[in-house]
Structure 1
Amino acid sequence: MKENKCVRENRWCVVLLCSFCVLYLTAVQAKATELIYCYEDTRSASHFLNEGSDVPIDDPDALLAVFQRLDNKLDQVSIRYVRQPWQACLTDLRSNKVNAVIAAYRKDRTSFGQYPLSKTQQPDSKRAVSEFSSCLIGSNRFHQQWQSREVFQTKAFTLALPRGYKLNKAMTQEPFFIQHTASVEKALELIERGVADASIKLCQIGSRKIVSKNQNTALKMVYPPITKEHGYLVFSKTFYDENQSLSQRIWHTLAAQDNAKLYVEQLSKAGNTNQLASTDRY
């Protein structure tokens, strides 16, 4: 009888423990704050091309991998994903229909979006979600001409500029003849045909250099990168004002992850290491 009583008591303890766990998990879930994250639907290209989109990679799975890891780490937040054209994401952030997007810093966006800021009230690159860099790419002949352009004053090069890219301030001082193309692939094709001297291409994520599996071995990147752009998780003003402590924790958690590694791994799996990493689509 004693043994049976112990068994009954143990079972009762297990039932109580399970009930406590259920109550605890329910309480935690009840306290979780919903974060509506809007990301770009690249299938709706006609709605956003040339509109200043901000997604650094055309493959949305690379971005989702970063956020899914965040979702698993923080019990205080429950992320709901909304996929739509980029301009719709920005419009909904303005009206607080969504709570967050990934975007590069633009002064005009600070009126409706909250960036992670440093003590000097500048965007804090240490808490950026991503850092994407682009390089010039061309043949060995272009490499030699580019390196000696100052000495021999040979600065006239035809640059095949893929849609979505733009030159930074330093590069605009170089007298390039710009030939716009629909994609990186088309730009590289023009180089191979001798129509263009060089183009611009994603070459680095964080400190990790990117090598495309499909890259023509006759064409090589010119390092260091000529452009660098940081992507930030930007909250709507309303969400940030109501959840300042949580927002800071989310920024801190994202910054602590090796996001560059996640991007590279995801793109490698998809075979998309030559996807657009645009400085204008930020």
Structure 2
Amino acid sequence: MIKLTYILSFSLLCASHMLLANEPVKLRFCYEDKQLLPYYAGNGAQIPTPPGATIEHLQEGIALVPQLKVTFERRPWLRCLQLLEQNKVDAVVATYNELRLSFAVFPLDENNAPDSRLALNQHATCIVQRVGDNVTQRLKDGVVMARPLGYVVPEYPSGVSIVPVQSQQQAFSLVKLGRVDATTTTCEINTVQLPNMLNEQLEVIHPPLYESTGYLVFSKAFYNQHSKLATELWRTLQQTQNPNRYYQYLPQ
């Protein structure tokens, strides 16, 4: 009787482990709670339909990795980074910065450099100014530029001073009101120039000020536990690249 009880208990334990092993791994993805077209649509905590090009891309890619189940959280961008550092979310999309390596895992090549072959997208950033303000001619002489909190600050010309703001929309408002000289916005995606979506008071200045690359990055804890799944997702997202996905969110 004791032997039979032991066998039954062992069988139940094995069965429970098998069920757990077959359950998909939860991937908690955090992204900005303010609209940032074409990447993210809508404002607030809700996930709208359609959700934005980046979310569509992630949904399509993760659907091809059945071992993963994604949940989306919308927070202020700086809060998403903090939660990633605390291992309270598992992934964000971000540009590469060495300071982020202490808490985030980027796809790296054999030289430990960011692997652009596994990037989500490449985009260029242009200056936004009041119409006719000629900010680019004054960059070395002293320009005040608004920049949303949590975004990587590139190497601007020496005369540029940065004012941190809560959102891209706040940055645009400060430029319109004349409280800062300029801000920046995405003006090209995958080398294709985007249409001007600003009102008549503001203008986008070409050529781009700088270029950057967006990566899906994982928390240290998630990557340490599920490195094979993370690598599989990076590769799968390359197979589901679709440039038209971005352009459908922009005015024609």
Tell me the TM-score range normalised by the shorter chain.
0.5 to 0.7
* Structure 2: segments with no counterpart, 5+ residues: 1-18, 43-50
Which one has the bigger helix percentage? Answer: 1
Counterpart position of 1:71? 62
State the 1:218 CA deviation: 9.1
- Aligned pairs for 1:1-282 (under 5 A) are 30-42=22-34, 59=41, 61-62=51-52, 63-137=54-128, 142=134, 159=143, 161-164=145-148, 168-169=154-155, 171-173=156-158, 175=159, 182-187=170-175, 190=178, 200-216=184-200, 219=203, 221-223=205-207, 225-258=208-241, 260-266=243-249, 268=250
Greater Rg by CA: 1
CA deviation map 1:165-187 (0-9, x unaligned): 88742x414x4688898422552
Report the residue type matching 2:110 in the other structure: K
- Are 2:38 and 2:247, in contact at CA under 8 Å, matched by a contact in 1? no
Report the residue type matching 2:55 in the other structure: L
Count of aligned pairs between the two proteins: 217
- Are 1:158 and 1:177, in contact at CA under 8 Å, matched by a contact in 2? yes
- Are 1:157 and 1:177, in contact at CA under 8 Å, matched by a contact in 2? no
CA deviation map 1:70-110 (0-9, x unaligned): 23332222112222333443333233332211122222322
Measured in 2, the distance between the counterparts of 1:117 and 1:239 equals 16
Measured in 1, the distance between the counterparts of 2:161 and 2:97 equals 28
- Are 2:32 and 2:80, in contact at CA under 8 Å, matched by a contact in 1? yes
State the 1:199 CA deviation: 5.4
* Structure 1: segments with no counterpart, 5+ residues: 1-26, 44-53, 274-282
Measured in 1, the distance between the counterparts of 2:163 and 2:77 equals 26
State the 1:204 CA deviation: 0.7
Q: 1:124 to 1:56 in 2, by over 3 A?
A: farther
Measured in 1, the distance between the counterparts of 2:38 and 2:154 equals 16
Report the residue type matching 1:265 in the other structure: Q
Measured in 1, the distance between the counterparts of 2:184 and 2:108 equals 30
The alignment's C-alpha RMSD in Å is: 3.9
- Are 2:29 and 2:71, in contact at CA under 8 Å, matched by a contact in 1? yes
Report the residue type matching 2:93 in the other structure: I
Structure 1 window deviating more from structure 2 (231-240 vs 80-89): it is 80-89
Report the residue type matching 1:238 in the other structure: A
State the 1:158 CA deviation: 6.7
Which one has the bigger strand percentage? Answer: 2
- Are 1:38 and 1:98, in contact at CA under 8 Å, matched by a contact in 2? yes
Q: Normalising by the residue count of structure 2, what TM-score does the alignment of the two structures yield?
A: 0.67
State the 1:159 CA deviation: 4.4
Q: 1:215 to 1:239 in 2, by over 3 A?
A: same
Measured in 2, the distance between the counterparts of 1:39 and 1:177 equals 27
Q: 1:185 to 1:242 in 2, by over 3 A?
A: same
- Are 1:39 and 1:86, in contact at CA under 8 Å, matched by a contact in 2? yes
Measured in 2, the distance between the counterparts of 1:265 and 1:37 equals 23
Q: 1:166 to 1:233 in 2, by over 3 A?
A: closer
3-state secondary structure, aligned to 1:42: coil
Q: Normalising by the residue count of structure 1, what TM-score does the alignment of the two structures yield?
A: 0.61
State the 1:162 CA deviation: 3.3
